[in-house]
Amino acid sequence: VQLTGWWVLDPLIGLVVAANIVWTGFRLLRDTAEGLLDRVLPQEDQEVIASVLSRYERQGIRFHAVRTRAAGQRRFVSMHVLVPGLWTVKQAHDLSEKIEGELAGALPQSTYFIHIEPSEDPSSFEDQNLDRERKDGEA
């Protein structure tokens, strides 16, 4: 005010400084909250996962219920892998290890959960309701 003689300049500069403080505080709160909440992996990471899985789909292996999330700095990927029902447990396990290894190479520092299902079983395709209701007598 002393330099310019404009009485309105001091309140305007004060408003700009206050707006900057509010905006900075908002960004800090948002960034802190994002670190505490789970969120889906970025599109680029999902495309990496889809690329790896597509190589197996060409071999007749199918996937569904592919879900991703990030919690803080940790990334999680879960999926159901449909394999022929006549496969042995070892064959299915070896396949899941191979898939997990390729995913870990393409998207390191992630945790993978792979659930094997027989492709001939109709209930294997129920990925919308992962918490299936138990029938009477089931544990």
Yes or no: say if 56 and 91 are a contact pair by the CB < 8 Å rule.
no
Whole-model pTM: value is 0.67
* Tens-place pLDDT, residues 88-107: 999 999 999 999 999 999 99
Q: CA-to-CA distance for 51 and 46, rounded, in angstroms?
A: 9
**Domain residues of the chain, as ranges?**
9-36, 39-125
Tens-place pLDDT, residues 36-80: 778 899 999 999 999 999 999 988 899 999 999 988 778 999 999
Q: Which amino acid is at 85?
A: G
Fold (CATH) for 39-125? Alpha-Beta Plaits (3.30.70)
- Asked if 81 and 61 count as a contact pair (C-beta separation under 8 A), the reply is yes
**Torsional class of 71: left (φ above 0), alpha (ψ -120 to 50), beta (otherwise):** beta
Whether the predicted pLDDT of 82 surpasses 70:
yes
Q: Which residues contact 110 (CB under 8 A, 6 or more apart)?
A: 74, 75, 76, 77, 103, 104
